[in-house]
Structure 1
Amino acid sequence: MSNNIIFLKNRTTPLDKYEVESKDNQYSDVQFLPLIAHTHHPMEALLLLKNNDYLSSLRYLIVTSQRTVECLRESIIPTLTNEQKEKLFGLSVYTVGPATGDFLRRVGFHNVKGDDMGNGDKLSDFIIEDIGDDYNGEILSLVGAIRRDIIKNKLKQVGLSVKEVVTYETSVLNDNLDRFQNTLIDIADKEECDSKSCCWVVIFSPQGAKDIIKFLKQNPSIKNKLDLKISCIGPTTNNYLLDNGINPEVVSPEPTPDSLLGAIDGFQKSMTTAVQH
């Protein structure tokens, strides 16, 4: 079993399921390498959610990013009154992905829906069906500064009006490649005493990872020296890697820790079987 895994993402606080499940799967060295910085912008959402008239008309919330949940937990919810919190937590909240859904539930929302839809297009269809003819309240979508408008546009086509409010923005850190190289150097130093170990690098998005991907393409010997293997999350990231000369060993079928680690485990078992034969 490989004991090194590097997640090219910010560690979700206070609990990151990728870390928990990696350690459960006997990865002793689990590292997170943040590639982007997140800045909260809670003011516009606060003005709405602290307005009792608006809050009383609000029935549906759309939250598709863990960064938005962090903004809610750290910068918005603590400033609300108990009555406002109770109203907010009782809303129907639509989201994508089990990790974001679990995060919302831990924060206090108890009517979270759609976290098994997998993408914004499917979530849009689910929202339309779930609301049905019962549309008589506001729909608020809390988003990042950079986003695709799939959900908003699809709901608009069927007459559902969505108010979008930005809660965070992202910026690429300027030393990603340096920190990645230093991480590999540290692992190489440890690997000298354990030649059977390999290192997995998990790429979640091209954002912030472009210099690292270019470095891996231009230095293929690095992969052999460290027995470095690449895994990625999602078809968009996989296509970007392929277009840039990187063929990942594993593409996670779903954007979840279970799916990722199961795919990696399956790959490693198939490689072991191939060597034995």
Structure 2
Amino acid sequence: MSIYLLKNKTVPKDPYFDAFNESRYSTTFIPLLDHTHTNLPETIEFLASLEFLENYNHLIITSQRAVEVLDLALHSVPSDTREKIFKKTAYTVGPATSKILYALGFQFIKGGSEAGNGDILSDIIIDDLKNCKNDKIIFFTGETRRDIIPRKLTSSGYCLTELVIYKTILKPNIAERFTQVYDKSAENSWIIFFSPQGTSEIIDYLNTLKVKNFKIASIGPTTEKFLLEQGIVPNLVSSKPEATTLLQELHKHSL
């Protein structure tokens, strides 16, 4: 069975590749996006500043791309500064980003597998900091992001600052690269959607096919909602946004 993952392969290790490869699935990544830091010197300067070190004890980091930029920036600050940063509380979405933050050096991580999306994470933060609403919170984010977390926290009276540290652009020739590998695929292949970003051309192509010899999986409800709006009903929506859960549920669905 062929598995097409509509995402960039995470380096140095990708949990989805490891999980599917160990289960002997034929796994193909189709990168859709390019990510780059927006202003690395500014990020480094902020991380090393007394303003950040003394006044922000709570961080929100919801994407692996933000972690990658932070990792790059942290290598340019003194080691004693890094140790102070790693002792701050980091709130994140999903187990994958949580594991990367632990590997990076953060010691106090909340959310993770208990927060499948930004809405749930916001509720966790609101409850966690209900007795210290004046504490400053910093949200390391990208240029393109949903506003659920900022809206919920600010409307609840929390002091949130956003710092854009990366941007995302579409890779060229997405539809061509997808059709080149998909047209050679066997029947009953799975196409896994991880995000709405960069998928419009692929969806247009899939909607033109008269014979649907594939199945669609969504990594979560946000992407599912987008697919439904585009006229595609997923065969599977992963109950958790993680590789092991997706693999187990896909395997059960394929029996």
**What is the DSSP-based 3-state SS (H/G/I as helix, E as strand, rest coil) of the residue aligned with 1:205?**
coil
Select the residue among 236, 251, 254 that pairs with 2:222.
236
Q: Provide the rounded CA distance (Å) in 2 between the counterparts of 1:119 and 1:239.
A: 13
- What does 1:104-119 correspond to in 2, within 5 Å? 104-115=101-112, 116-119=114-117
Unaligned runs of at least 5 residues, structure 1:
192-196, 270-277
Provide the residue aligned with 1:46 in structure 2: 44
Q: Provide the rounded CA distance (Å) in 2 between the counterparts of 1:236 and 1:132.
A: 27
Provide the residue aligned with 1:125 in structure 2: 123
Q: Provide the rounded CA distance (Å) in 2 between the counterparts of 1:216 and 1:53.
A: 50
- 1:215 paired with 2:205, answer yes
8 Å CA contact 1:44, 1:165 repeated in 2: no
1:19-51, Cα deviation, whole Å (9 max, x unpaired): 111122221x21211111111123332221111
Report runs of 4+ in structure 1 exceeding 6 Å deviation. none
How far off is 1:135 after superposition? 4.8
Partner amino acid, structure 1, of 2:158 = L
Provide the residue aligned with 1:274 in structure 2: none
Q: Provide the rounded CA distance (Å) in 2 between the counterparts of 1:98 and 1:44.
A: 29
Provide the residue aligned with 2:75 in structure 1: 78
**TM-score (norm: length of structure 1):** 0.85
**TM-score (norm: length of structure 2):** 0.92
Q: Provide the rounded CA distance (Å) in 2 between the counterparts of 1:125 and 1:151.
A: 9
Q: Which has the larger radius of gyration?
A: 1
Select the residue among 23, 26, 42 that pairs with 2:24.
26
1:77-100, Cα deviation, whole Å (9 max, x unpaired): 110101110011110000111111
Provide the residue aligned with 1:140 in structure 2: 138
Partner amino acid, structure 1, of 2:222 = T
Q: Provide the rounded CA distance (Å) in 1 between the counterparts of 2:22 and 2:194.
A: 21
How far off is 1:136 after superposition? 5.7
**Percent of pairs with identical residues:** 38
Q: Provide the rounded CA distance (Å) in 1 between the counterparts of 2:231 and 2:52.
A: 51
Distance 1:129 1:240, change over 3 A: closer
Distance 1:244 1:121, change over 3 A: closer
- What does 1:133-212 correspond to in 2, within 5 Å? 133-135=131-133, 137-185=135-183, 187-188=184-185, 191=186, 198-212=188-202
**What is the DSSP-based 3-state SS (H/G/I as helix, E as strand, rest coil) of the residue aligned with 1:200?**
strand
Partner amino acid, structure 2, of 1:245 = G
Distance 1:180 1:105, change over 3 A: same
8 Å CA contact 2:133, 2:159 repeated in 1: no
Distance 1:243 1:138, change over 3 A: closer
Unaligned runs of at least 5 residues, structure 2:
none
Select the residue among 235, 244, 247 that pairs with 1:261.
247
**What is the DSSP-based 3-state SS (H/G/I as helix, E as strand, rest coil) of the residue aligned with 1:114?**
strand
Distance 1:157 1:241, change over 3 A: closer
Distance 1:136 1:257, change over 3 A: same
How far off is 1:123 after superposition? 1.2
Provide the residue aligned with 1:251 in structure 2: 237
Distance 1:177 1:55, change over 3 A: same
Q: Provide the rounded CA distance (Å) in 1 between the counterparts of 2:41 and 2:116.
A: 29
Partner amino acid, structure 1, of 2:5 = F
1:169-216, Cα deviation, whole Å (9 max, x unpaired): 11112210100011124x44xx5xxxxx74211111222111111111
8 Å CA contact 2:135, 2:159 repeated in 1: no
**Which structure: greater helix fraction?**
1
Give the total of aligned pairs. Answer: 253
